[in-house]
Amino acid sequence: MTGTHQSKSRRAFLKGGGIAAGAAAASVIAAPTVVAQSPVVIKMQSSWPASDAFHEMAGQYVKLVEATSGGRLKIDLLPAGAVVGAFQVIDAVNDGVIDASHTVPVYWYGKHKAASFFGTGPVWGGSATTMLAWFHSGGGKEFYRELTQDILGLNIIGFMGFPMPAQPLGWFKSPVTKAGQLKGLKYRTVGLAADLFQQMGLSVAQLPGGEIVPAMERGVIDAFEFNNPTSDMRFGAQDVAKNYMLSSYHQASECFEFQFNRDFFEGLEPDLQAILQNSVDAASSVNTYWALKQYSDDLAKLQTEHGVKVLRTPQEILDAQLAGWDKLIEQLGKDEFMKRIMDSQKQFVEKVVFYELMNAPDYVLAYNHYYPGKLAL
């Protein structure tokens, strides 16, 4: 290639490059100004004190939503009592006083006892995971919508997540070995569990978590349950009783409820709605992983640092609970809607738990093999 030809080619290249650069500059100048969109702020109140494990777990949901939305959603999470009481969040969501809540259905079963079927109803033989599977894939979600929107006329949308470990029978000043020892006790529980223990001869007080220990100190109650070793320890249960009885059928299948004001939720962009809903499933897993470690850590602390005796509930009491449930089931079945729910749950559990139990190896056998004598509490 000659020098003259090289110069011409270079000039042509630079000329073309100059045109392209000019066009690029013009496009930059002509580009519209992008304004950062303010996040949608969601006012959510939990049914838990700020120090409780459940409020911390609600915070795990908040982090997932905010991260997944890229900052387009921001949740202002408030503890119980910040706007309304722990049992009043459903009314506040319905009325639009708050946009959302983190709670449990049993806290509003006073509106309709069917609320307890979404977590604290008859055990049937399944776990909280079984109940949550029924909710998502066995028809439970439609029953929940029918109850909240059609029967009660509430302006809410709700989702369920975090299959809780079965709740302990609770805290007692003296160990209970016979069902007859429960009769006459003033006992704290909630929901259909209150009906169950009344069937068994106890006097029941329904109290939110933050009021339990003060009630025990004042003698308003003799014994109580709340939920798990972490929450119970943070409440100070170990300061008012030293006998912690694990295993019970009174609340063996509970999970969290995430309520949203329906108008607020449906007014969001579809992708933001999906983020709020799908983050419930993500939080369900995150909550489970966190809880298994934290609950077991704190159960050990209760034993080693606070002198708490950890006991399993005797079979005689479990048998009495099942007999109590039988009576309740008969009474509740007189209501057509609740009968439909129970029939649906029984059919689902019979098939699913048959598979689970037939398929599951004997974990107790394996545990005793590697940790001999530890289960003899």
Statement to judge: residues 184 and 318 lie in one domain: yes
Rounded CA separation 198/191 (Å): 11
Give yes or no: residues 225 and 338 share one domain.
Answer: yes
Q: Residue 10, SS3?
A: helix
Are residue 193 and residue 236 in the same domain, yes or no? yes
The answer to whether the beta carbons of residues 118 and 160 sit under 8 Å apart is yes
Work out how many domains the chain is built from and give that number: 2
Give every strand in the sheet of 186-188, ordered side by side. 203-205, 186-188, 223-224, 170-172, 243-246, 309-312
Same domain, 245 and 337: yes
Indicate the pLDDT class of residue 176, thresholds 50, 70 and 90. very high
pLDDT in tens, 189-204: 988 999 999 999 999 9
CATH assignment of the domain containing 315: 3.40.190.10
The domain boundary residue, chosen from 293, 321, 354: 293
* Structural domain includes residue 222: yes
Domain extent, residue 312, equals: 170-251+308-370
For residue 305, the model assigns a pLDDT of 98
Mean pLDDT value of segment 147-165: 98
- Answer whether residue 343 is part of any domain: yes
* The residue type at 41: V
Q: What is the pLDDT of residue 208?
A: 83
Tens digits of residue pLDDT in 41-96: 999 999 999 999 999 999 999 999 999 999 999 999 999 999 999 999 999 999 99
Single-letter amino acid, residue 103: T
Long-range CB contact pairs, 86-94, < 8 A, 24+: 86/47, 86/48, 86/208, 86/209, 86/210, 87/47, 87/208, 89/45, 89/46, 89/47, 89/259, 90/154, 90/156, 90/259, 92/45, 93/156, 93/259, 93/260, 93/261, 94/154, 94/155, 94/156, 94/261
Q: Are residues 349 and 242 in the same domain?
A: yes
Residues 107 and 135 grouped into a single domain: yes
- Residue (of 223, 220, 183, 221) closest to 200 by Cα position: 183
pLDDT for the residue 17: 45
Is the four-CA dihedral 21, 22, 27, 29 of positive or negative sign? positive
Q: How confident is the model at residue 34 (pLDDT cuts 50, 70, 90)?
A: very low
109-123, pLDDT tens digit by residue?
999 999 999 988 999
Q: Which of 204-213, 272-281, 296-305, 366-375 has the lowest mean pLDDT?
A: 204-213
Q: What pLDDT does 330 receive?
A: 97
CATH no. for residue 281? 3.40.190.170
Q: Are residues 217 and 243 in the same domain?
A: yes
Co-location of 158 and 282 in the same domain: yes
Q: Is the pLDDT reported for residue 167 higher than 60?
A: yes
Amino acid residing at 78: L
Residue type, 10: R
Residue 36 pLDDT grade (very low, low, confident, very high; cuts 50, 70, 90): low
Is 175 domain-assigned?
A: yes
User: Is 26 inside a domain boundary?
Assistant: no
Answer yes or no: is 28 within a domain: no
Looking at the structure, tell me whether residues 239 and 314 fall in a common domain: yes
342 contacts: CB under 8 Å, gap ≥ 6: 117, 121, 122, 329, 332, 333
In a domain, 101, yes or no: yes
**Predicted pLDDT at 193:** 93
Tracing tokens 């599951």 back to the chain, one arrives at 360
**Phi and psi (nearest 5°) for 76?**
-90, 95
The edge-to-edge listing of strands for the beta sheet with 256-261 is 73-78, 40-46, 100-103, 256-261, 156-161
At 26, is the pLDDT very low, low, confident or very high (cuts 50, 70, 90)? very low
235, 321: one domain: yes
Among 293, 318, 347, the domain boundary falls at 293
Average pLDDT in the 323-352 region?
Answer: 97
pLDDT in the model for residue 377 = 57
In terms of domains, do 86 and 156 share one? yes
Please report the pLDDT score of residue 22 as a whole number.
Answer: 44
* 221 and 111 within one domain: no
pLDDT at 18: 44
List beta partners, residue 246.
Answer: 312
DSSP class of residue 84? S
Residue 146 maps to a domain: yes
User: Residue 326 class from Cβ within 10 Å (0-12 exposed, 13-18 middle, 19+ buried)?
Assistant: exposed
Average pLDDT of the residues of the chain: 91
DSSP string, 156-210: EEEEEE--PPPPP-EEESS---SGGGGTT-EEE--THHHHHHHHTT-EEE---GG
